[in-house]
A and B are shown apart, each in its own frame.
Chain A
Amino acid sequence: MQFRTLIMTAPLALSALALVSCDGDSTPADRVEPSFVYVELLEDEVGTAEVPLPFSSEVAELQVRVTTLDINGDPYTSFNGDLTLEIRPGDVEQDPKVELVDGKFEGPVSVKNGFGPTRVWFSDLGDKDVDSGRTASFATGVSDPIHYSLPTVGEMNRHHDHETNQLDGEFAELRAEDRDMRISNVGANGYWLLDLMDEPGSHASLFVYTFSAPDDSVELGRRLTLLTGNNQEYLATTQLSFPHYEISDEPAVQMPAPAVLDWDWCGDDDTLEGYEGAVVRVESAQIPTTFVEGTEEYEDYIGYGQWPIVEQDGSGDCSFFVENGTTVPDFFPTDHVGEPMDYVQGMLTEIWGTWILLIRDGDDIPPSIYSGSSAGDNASARRIHRPVPRHRPASK
C-alpha cells in the first residue's frame, strides 16, 4: 500500500501538470495582472495573541497600504481599478470596492466586530463598474493579523434589535478562559450557559445546540473553558450550533436562583432580551380563563404546545407562555385554567416576540397544581403535537 501510493501519486501529479499545459486552465497562457496583492497594516497597536485589543462592536478605522504586484513580485503600477475589501472575521462598514491608482491605495478602512486573529483582505474580483472592461485576476492579499479579544457572551448578545446579535450568522469563538461561564441547564439536544461575571439581565446567557444529548461532562454548574460554534438566531433566540467546547475539571458550583421577571416587563422585548436563555421565574401567575377550546391560544397550544399565563388579578392583556411538552408531559394546563400559580420557572426563549418559559422539570410548576407523577399511558393518549423544526444530521 505504501509503495503503491508513491507510484500512483506521482503519475497523477504529472498527469495534472500535463493537463495544465494542455488546456491551459491552471497556468493561464494569457496571464492577467496583478498576480499578487500586498496588504500592510499601518496601525501601531495590533495586539498580540497573549495581549489582544478589546473586542468592539463599534466601527473602527484601520490604516492600510495596499500594493499590487506582478508575476515577479514587483510593484504593478499599471493597475487602475477597484479591489474588494473584506475583513475575516468581522464586518466591513463602508463600500467594499476600494479604488487603487497606479497600483496603490493608502488610507483608512472602516470595519467592526473583529475577534481573535483578524485579517483585512483585498481581492481583485473586478471593478465596481462591471462595464469597465477590465478582467479580474483574482489576486488576493491579506494583512498580518490584528489580535482582538474574543467577545464575552454578553458582548456577543447585546444588540439594539432583540431578534439578532452582533455575530449573527458568524462562526463565533467566545471568551471563556478568564470568565466564569457555567452550565445552567441540560436538555435533550443541548445545554444553556450563564456567565456569572455579568449581572442578571445583561445578555449573559445562551443556548448551545448539540443535536445529540450532551455528553456526560455537561453537568449543571460546571465551567466552560472553551466554546465555539455557529451563531444563529433560531426563531429569534440566539444559539450556537455545531459547538465545540471544553469543560473544566473543577467542581460544579451552586447556580444562582432564577431571575424574577417583573410583570411590568411583559411585552418589553428589549428588557426581556437581556434574560433570553436564562433561568427565570414569573410569580403571581394564572392560566387565563379565556384559555378555552376554540380560541387562537388554545389552537396554538394544540399545535405547538405552548400555553399562556397572565398576572393574577392583573389586566390580563399581556401574557408570557409556558411549554412543558417533553419534560413534564403529564401536566395538562387545560385542567388548571384560572387556578392561581405562585410561580412558574423555566428557560426563557423567544419566538419572534413571543416569550416562552421552557419547563425543566416538575419543580418548575408549583406543587399546588402539579404533584409530580411520571408519564404514563394517560399522558401518551393525550399527547399534543408540537413541531420542533431543528436541523438534524441524518445519515444511515
Chain B
Amino acid sequence: MRYLPALALVTFLSGCAPQTTTVDVPALAGMDVRLTIMHTSDIHSRLLEYDFDPSFTDNTLGLADDYGPYGGIAEMAYVLKRERTKGGRVLHLDSGDCFQGAIIFNEFQGEAEVRTLGATGLEAAVIANHEFDAGAQNLADQMSAFASYDLLAANYDFESSDHPWATALEEIAIPSVIYTLDGLKVGVLGLANLSSLNSIHNEDNSMGITVIDERQAIRDEAGKLTAQGADIVVAVSHMGLDDDIELAEQVKELDIIMGGHHHVAIDPPLVVTNKETGKRIPVVHSGAFAKFVGRADFVIRDGEVLSHSYQLFPIDGTVPKDPEVAEILEEYEEQLNYDYNTSQVIGYANVILTRYGSTGGDSMLGNFTAEAMRSYPGVETEIALTNTLGIRSDINPGEITMDDLFNSMPFDNTITTMFLSGREIQEVLDFATSRSTDRGCQSQIQVAGIRFTMDCRNAVATDIVVNGVPLDPDGTYEVATNNYIAHGGSGFSMLERNTTQNDTGISIRDVVRAGMTNVYLSSAEASSEVIGLPQPGVCEEDGRILAVF
C-alpha cells in the first residue's frame, strides 16, 4: 500500500451564515484523485438551437445527420448538470468567445450569454476576442451586471489604461483562481486571446489592454497558485491550438490546458510532452457553436496528472432542455421575435448554400455576397472583395429565415468603397493567396468582378482578370469591401492605409438580405411557385478563384 493518510479535519468559515462548519476533508497525499472538468468553448451566441448540415468530422465525433436541431444553451445545461451528478470533484470551464454569432447577441449585446452561462453552473471563463465585439465597456457592463462566474485573463492588464471601463475590467478580469474540491486545490489561470484582437496591436489600442507575455504570466500566476497550495495548475485558454501546443511543450508550470479559438473538437485530446520536465500535458479542445460539451477526467496523484479520459457529448435534438436555463431564454426569445420576427422567411434555397468553395476557391455564399455588395444601389463598384470568415455558416436547403441569415452573417459590418491601383489589387490578392496557403489552400477572400488563379505552391495570385480584361498594373479600380478588412482586419494592412476610403454605412447583411428577398419575390411572381435560390450565376461557384497547388 502506498501509504495511509491521516484524516484532515478542516474548519471552514462559512460564507452564507454566521456559523462555523466542520467537515471531514480527506488528506490526499499519495492518493489517486479523480478530477472532472466539463468544458465548453466558442459558443458564439448559439443559445437557441439551430439547423445545419453536420460534416463528416461532426458525424465522426457523434453529431449525427437528421438529429437536429443542434446546439442550444438549455440543452448544453442539461448535459452539464447531468454530468455533474456523475462526478465527485467537478469544475466547468469555458474557453471563451461566448459572444457573437447569432441574432441574440446583436440584440442583447451578451446579456443573454452571460446570464445563461452562469445558470449552467459555470465556474470560470477566459476572455476571448469576440467578447470585445460590442466594445470593452459593454463587456464590463454585462459582466458586472450578470456574471455569476469568474472571468480570467492572466495575460491582460487594464490597470495602466485611462479608458473609462478599465477600472471595472481590472476588478472583473482576474488572472487566476483556486477552486477547492473535496480537498483537491485546482489552480486555474486564464490565457486570453492575442492573435485575433487587432485593436491590441494597433497604435490606439482602443481596448486599453496592456499585454503581458503569456509565458511570464503563466510563470507568475502558477507560482502564486502553487504557493497558495494548488495541487495542479490548469490553463483555460483562448490562445488557439498552435499556441496551446507550444506552451504545453515549452512552459513547465502547466499541467492541463483547456483551449479554444479554432473551433475544433479533438477527441481524444492531444498529449504534448513538456521538453523540460517530460510531463505529458493534455491539451483539450471541445469544439464550437454549442455543438458539443466536453468532459475530461483526470487522475491526479501528488500534483501529477497520471492519466486522463475524455468524452464528447453531441448537442442535438435528442437532448432535453434544462428548465432553469430554458426559462431564462424565454424572455429573450419573445423579445427577438417581437423585434426581428426571426422566423420570417426571406428566401428559399433548393440546395445547401456553402460558405467554403468545394475546390478551395470561390464559394456559393461568397460569390452571392460579393455580387450583392458590388451591385447594391449606392455602391456599384467594379470589384467587390470580402473575407471568407465573415460568413460563418452554410445555409441549409429550404426556407431561409432571418435567424438563418444572422447565423451565417452575424457581424454588423458595413460596405467601404475605395480606389485601388492595379498594383495594389495585385498586392491584395497576393496577400490573400499567401494567407490561403497557410490555411490549406482554402481561399480567405471572396470576390466579384474579378477572376484569378490562387497559386498556393508559390503563394502568388496569377492570371488576374477584371470584368473580362487582364489587370492593368497602372489602372485604377473602384473596390467595395467590408469595413473590417478595410481597417486592416485579418492582416489586410495594405487596405488600411488607403486614403480614399468611404464607409457607406450600408450593412452587408442587409445587402445580402435584399438580394435574397429579390430573388425570392421575382421567382415566385414569375412562376407562381417558390423556386428561389440559387439562380444560375447568382449563388453558384463558377471558378472565379481557381485554387491550384
Question: A residues within 8 Å of B by Cβ?
Answer: 1-2, 4-6, 8-10, 12-24, 26-29, 31, 35-39, 67, 69, 71-74, 86, 88, 117, 119, 121, 123, 125, 136-142, 169-171, 173, 187-189, 210-213, 228-230, 232, 234-235, 241-242, 244, 305, 325-327, 329, 375-377, 379-396
Q: Nearest 8 CB-CB pairs, A to B?
A: A18-B15, A189-B440, A383-B543, A393-B262, A21-B12, A391-B57, A22-B16, A138-B88
Given contacts A12-B174, A386-B358, 13 further A-B contacts (CB under 8 A): A5-B174, A12-B150, A13-B177, A20-B12, A22-B17, A36-B32, A138-B87, A142-B306, A189-B441, A305-B359, A329-B546, A380-B544, A393-B264
Question: B residues within 8 Å of A by Cβ?
Answer: 1-7, 10, 12-17, 21, 23-27, 30-34, 36, 55-57, 60, 86-89, 129, 150, 157, 159, 170, 174-183, 196, 212, 220-221, 224-225, 228, 240-241, 245, 261-264, 266-272, 280, 297, 299, 306-309, 356, 358-361, 387, 389-390, 392, 437-442, 451, 453, 456, 463, 465, 489-490, 541-544, 546-549
Query: Judging by beta carbons under 8 Å apart, are A9 and B175 in contact?
Result: yes
Query: Judging by beta carbons under 8 Å apart, are A387 and B358 in contact?
Result: yes
Query: Judging by beta carbons under 8 Å apart, are A188 and B360 in contact?
Result: yes
Query: Nearest Cβ distance between residue A11 and chain B, in whole angstroms?
Result: 10
Query: Judging by beta carbons under 8 Å apart, are B88 and A18 in contact?
Result: no
Query: Judging by beta carbons under 8 Å apart, are B263 and A395 in contact?
Result: yes
CB-CB under 8 A from A142, the residues of chain B are: 32, 299, 306-307
The residue on A at minimum CB distance from B545 is A380
Query: Judging by beta carbons under 8 Å apart, are B14 and A21 in contact?
Result: yes
Query: Judging by beta carbons under 8 Å apart, are B7 and A71 in contact?
Result: yes
CB-CB under 8 A from A393, the residues of chain B are: 241, 262-264
CB-CB under 8 A from B55, the residues of chain A are: 389, 391
CB-CB under 8 A from B31, the residues of chain A are: 35-36, 69, 73
The residue on A at minimum CB distance from B456 is A188
Query: Nearest Cβ distance between residue A352 and chain B, in whole angstroms?
Result: 11
Query: Judging by beta carbons under 8 Å apart, are A244 and B264 in contact?
Result: no
Query: Judging by beta carbons under 8 Å apart, are A375 and B15 in contact?
Result: no
Most buried by A among B3, B183, B489, B543: B543
Query: Judging by beta carbons under 8 Å apart, are A10 and B228 in contact?
Result: yes
Query: Nearest Cβ distance between residue A15 and chain B, in whole angstroms?
Result: 6
Query: Judging by beta carbons under 8 Å apart, are A5 and B221 in contact?
Result: yes
Question: What are some 12 contacts across the A-B interface (CB < 8 A)?
Answer: A1-B157, A2-B220, A14-B13, A17-B12, A21-B23, A27-B10, A119-B306, A121-B307, A212-B437, A213-B456, A385-B358, A388-B358
Query: Judging by beta carbons under 8 Å apart, are B264 and A391 in contact?
Result: yes
The residue on B at minimum CB distance from A144 is B306
Q: In the bound complex, how far is the Cα of B387 from the Cα of A69, in angstroms?
A: 59
Instruction: Contacts A5-B220, A388-B358, A395-B240 given; indicate if A375 touches B548 (C-beta within 8 A).
Output: yes
Q: In the bound complex, how far is the Cα of B59 from the Cα of A235, in angstroms?
A: 11
The residue on A at minimum CB distance from B434 is A213
Contact of A86 among B16, B27, B309, B359 (CB under 8 A): B309
Contact of A73 among B5, B181, B212 (CB under 8 A): B5
Query: Judging by beta carbons under 8 Å apart, are A18 and B16 in contact?
Result: yes
The residue on B at minimum CB distance from A12 is B177
Query: Judging by beta carbons under 8 Å apart, are A242 and B241 in contact?
Result: yes
CB-CB under 8 A from B270, the residues of chain A are: 171, 228-230, 242, 244
Contact of A389 among B56, B150, B440, B546 (CB under 8 A): B56
The residue on B at minimum CB distance from A24 is B23
Query: Judging by beta carbons under 8 Å apart, are A188 and B182 in contact?
Result: no
Contact of B359 among A72, A74, A377, A383 (CB under 8 A): A383
Query: Judging by beta carbons under 8 Å apart, are B266 and A242 in contact?
Result: yes
CB-CB under 8 A from A171, the residues of chain B are: 268-271
Contact of A388 among B88, B267, B307, B359 (CB under 8 A): B359
Q: In the bound complex, how far is the Cα of B170 from the Cα of A29, in angstroms?
A: 36
CB-CB under 8 A from B442, the residues of chain A are: 392
Q: In the bound complex, how far is the Cα of B2 from the Cα of A73, in angstroms?
A: 10
Query: Nearest Cβ distance between residue A327 and chain B, in whole angstroms?
Result: 6
Contact of B439 among A169, A170, A173, A211 (CB under 8 A): A211
CB-CB under 8 A from B177, the residues of chain A are: 9, 12-13, 16
Query: Judging by beta carbons under 8 Å apart, are B541 and A385 in contact?
Result: yes
Instruction: Contacts A38-B1, A387-B358 given; indicate if A15 touches B15 (C-beta within 8 A).
Output: yes
Q: In the bound complex, how far is the Cα of B280 from the Cα of A318, in angstroms?
A: 48
Query: Judging by beta carbons under 8 Å apart, are A213 and B5 in contact?
Result: no
CB-CB under 8 A from A121, the residues of chain B are: 299, 307, 309
Most buried by B among A14, A189, A212, A393: A393
Instruction: Contacts A21-B21, A380-B463 given; indicate if A228 touches B271 (C-beta within 8 A).
Output: yes
CB-CB under 8 A from B360, the residues of chain A are: 188, 326, 388
CB-CB under 8 A from A329, the residues of chain B are: 546, 548
The residue on B at minimum CB distance from A304 is B358
CB-CB under 8 A from A380, the residues of chain B are: 451, 453, 463, 543-544, 546
